[in-house]
Chains A and B, each alone.
Chain A
Amino acid sequence: MNPAGFPEQARRAWAIAKKDIRIYYFKGPVLIFGIFMPVFLFLAFFMGSRQLPLSFLISGLIGMTLFFTATAVSPAIFPWEGSARTLERLASCPITIEAIVLGDMIASLLFGIGITVVTVIIGLALGLSLLHGITLLAAIFLAACCFSAIGMLLAVPPTNVPSNIMMLSSLLKFPLVFISGIFVPLEQMPAWGLVLAVCSPLTYFTDLVRYSFTDAHYFPVLLDLAVLAAFMLVFTVVTMVLHKRTMPRRM
């Protein structure tokens, strides 16, 4: 057994993910936040935007659900563990920082996918028909990876005060929802809005979800998938590099 080899580190990352799910995700308030937050946002816009079709809003709800759930807990895990000194325990174990980050990302993406599947089922129950199932699955997987990497990226500042990180996280997450074509279709956006929209990975995921349910899309489907994959890779690499740099300052 080579403890530093990829298979062994991947196994240990899975142990981190299981620990995260048990400690941080299987908590009533987290589950309730993950489900109710997007639903309430959706209802607010559903009431205020009666001219938009249900299929459009449900696609947006799915986009929001995955984005909020995949980034809900992960930014606060390092600060929590730093203040509880459990991060020091992990740092003294034979696991790399990259594997710890990967483990946190796995937990976050599994939580995001799980809650999003529930939202998809709600959409189907409300009468939407799924036209491109495989595309939706691929989009959910890529976006979940991408959003969980964003969640971990938000945790990079080496503070052990979770509220600091959650405030920063909210400051970045909410504007992203409004520029990603969830409540305003990309076709109706002004030019400056579109410039912002193309910078958000959530835009491409929402476009793919709309394509999966309505066959309509703004960008070519393959481009959506490619950009989402590129965002995922960039965010994953950047978050791992930055965490490696900042981790010693948490100890």
Chain B
Amino acid sequence: MPGVIEVQDLTKRYGSTTAVDHIKFRVEEGEIFGFLGPNGAGKTTTVRMLTGVIPMDEGSATILGHDIHTEPVQAKQRIGVVPETSNAYTDLTAWQNLMLMGELYGLDDTRAAGRARKLLDVLGLLEKRDQKVQAYSKGMKQRLLLAMALLHEPELLFLDEPTGGLDVQSTQMILGMLRDLNTGGTTIFLTTHNMDEANRLCHRVGIIRSGKMVAIDAPEKLKTAIDRVHMIEVSFDREVPGDALSGHAGILSVTRSGDKWRITADEQDAAIRSLVALSREWGAAIVTMSTLAPSLDEAFLRLTREAEP
């Protein structure tokens, strides 16, 4: 079954600089795919190629079965785009911007008005619908961009840094809406700098560095994959000697840390099983046990650093 987005050897050059260098990936239907990378890594260039704003120099990209190069209109008809910087018409009101989008996506007036009213209501802009966009705050503009992208009920939504620089209220409103949309079946392609946002929202993330994809996986797998050695912290309700803990399957070393033992393990699953068996053997109940996996921030930094030329 073809993916919602299928990218093969996608490349973009600006003069002698290769902004995006033969990247390949696939996004499945119903996924929230996070596209991460440092500034200048090629995230926005990739999104602009995938949404048909700029042409690619090499490779191919298929969006919902339509080649973005040969069938751009058909592909764009089924996607929604929230760009990095606000690009609503500031001389028009929110309502006029939405009606313009309705006409550009071929919606009839009744459907466009109904959808516009509903979206403005959900996004808290209904009362300001007849105000020119130039008087809107950054958060209001961003919410309007989301409404403009969703007016025609796209199957796939591209968002480029949708919460960058927004207050907590607007951020939560947008993230909540993205979750609801995804639950309703919308596939989401999200570029972000916010690792916490990507960690909580995305089913899979792709990391790009200097125009090249350096990793694609689920956030949890990425976090664990970067460290071959895992850390486990465990505490028991009675004293268990360190010697008893070391030398078991999966456990490499044991160090004391307050009332806890910090275990270094080469195989996390085997180490946990050993600790459970030990607690039974010593008649000591496990009070706390936590695995200290690296955060997505650490994974991101490690992966992007490793990829440096």
| Interface mask (A177-220 → B, CB under 8 Å = 1, otherwise 0) | 00000000000000000000000000000000000000000000
Contact between A15 and B104 (Cβ–Cβ < 8 Å)? yes
What's the minimum C-beta distance from B307 to chain A, rounded to whole angstroms?
27
Of the residues B72, B83, B103, contact of A12 by C-beta under 8 Å: B103
Contact between B81 and A84 (Cβ–Cβ < 8 Å)? no
Tell me if B277 is interfacial: C-beta within 8 Å of chain A: no
Contact between B77 and A251 (Cβ–Cβ < 8 Å)? no
- Of all chain A residues, the one with the shortest Cβ separation from B48 is A251
How far is it, in angstroms, between the C-alpha of A174 and the C-alpha of B67 when the chains are bound?
Answer: 45
| Interface mask (B96-124 → A, CB under 8 Å = 1, otherwise 0) | 10001101111000000000000000000
What's the minimum C-beta distance from A245 to chain B, rounded to whole angstroms?
11
What's the minimum C-beta distance from B98 to chain A, rounded to whole angstroms?
12
How far is it, in angstroms, between the C-alpha of A23 and the C-alpha of B96 when the chains are bound?
Answer: 11
Contact between B73 and A92 (Cβ–Cβ < 8 Å)? no
Contact between A95 and B73 (Cβ–Cβ < 8 Å)? yes
Question: A interface, how many residues as a size bin?
Answer: 20 to 34
How far is it, in angstroms, between the C-alpha of A18 and the C-alpha of B103 when the chains are bound?
Answer: 11
List A1-23 residues whose CB lies under 8 Å from chain B.
Answer: 1, 3-4, 8-9, 11-12, 14-16, 18-19, 22-23
Tell me if A49 is interfacial: C-beta within 8 Å of chain B: no
What's the minimum C-beta distance from A20 to chain B, rounded to whole angstroms?
11
CB neighbours (8 Å) of B76 from chain A are 92-94
Contact between A85 and B85 (Cβ–Cβ < 8 Å)? yes
Contact between B54 and A251 (Cβ–Cβ < 8 Å)? yes
CB neighbours (8 Å) of A96 from chain B are 72-73
Given contacts A4-B71, A96-B73, A251-B54, contact A88 B87 (CB under 8 A): yes
- Of all chain A residues, the one with the shortest Cβ separation from B78 is A94
Contact between A4 and B74 (Cβ–Cβ < 8 Å)? yes
How far is it, in angstroms, between the C-alpha of A12 and the C-alpha of B107 when the chains are bound?
Answer: 10
How far is it, in angstroms, between the C-alpha of A240 and the C-alpha of B257 when the chains are bound?
Answer: 72
Contact between B92 and A93 (Cβ–Cβ < 8 Å)? no
Of the residues B77, B90, B100, contact of A94 by C-beta under 8 Å: B77
Contact between A94 and B51 (Cβ–Cβ < 8 Å)? no
Tell me if B301 is interfacial: C-beta within 8 Å of chain A: no
Contact between B104 and A12 (Cβ–Cβ < 8 Å)? yes
CB neighbours (8 Å) of B100 from chain A are 15, 19
How far is it, in angstroms, between the C-alpha of A114 and the C-alpha of B146 when the chains are bound?
Answer: 37
CB neighbours (8 Å) of A91 from chain B are 52-53
What's the minimum C-beta distance from A23 to chain B, rounded to whole angstroms?
5
| Interface mask (A14-44 → B, CB under 8 Å = 1, otherwise 0) | 1110110011000000000000000000000
How far is it, in angstroms, between the C-alpha of A4 and the C-alpha of B106 when the chains are bound?
Answer: 11
Contact between A94 and B104 (Cβ–Cβ < 8 Å)? yes
Tell me if B89 is interfacial: C-beta within 8 Å of chain A: yes
Contact between B89 and A19 (Cβ–Cβ < 8 Å)? yes
What's the minimum C-beta distance from B116 to chain A, rounded to whole angstroms?
15
Tell me if A50 is interfacial: C-beta within 8 Å of chain B: no
List B59-85 residues whose CB lies under 8 Å from chain A.
Answer: 71-74, 76-77, 81, 83, 85
Given contacts A94-B76, A248-B55, contact A85 B87 (CB under 8 A): yes
Candidate in B73, B81, B101 with the most chain A CB atoms within 10 angstroms: B73
Q: What are 5 A-to-B residue pairs whose CB atoms are below 8 Å? A: A12-B103, A15-B100, A85-B83, A94-B104, A251-B48
Tell me the A residues contacting B by CB distance below 8 Å.
1, 3-4, 8-9, 11-12, 14-16, 18-19, 22-23, 84-86, 88-96, 248, 251
10 tightest A-B contacts by CB? A15-B103, A4-B73, A94-B76, A85-B87, A94-B77, A89-B87, A92-B81, A3-B77, A93-B104, A91-B53
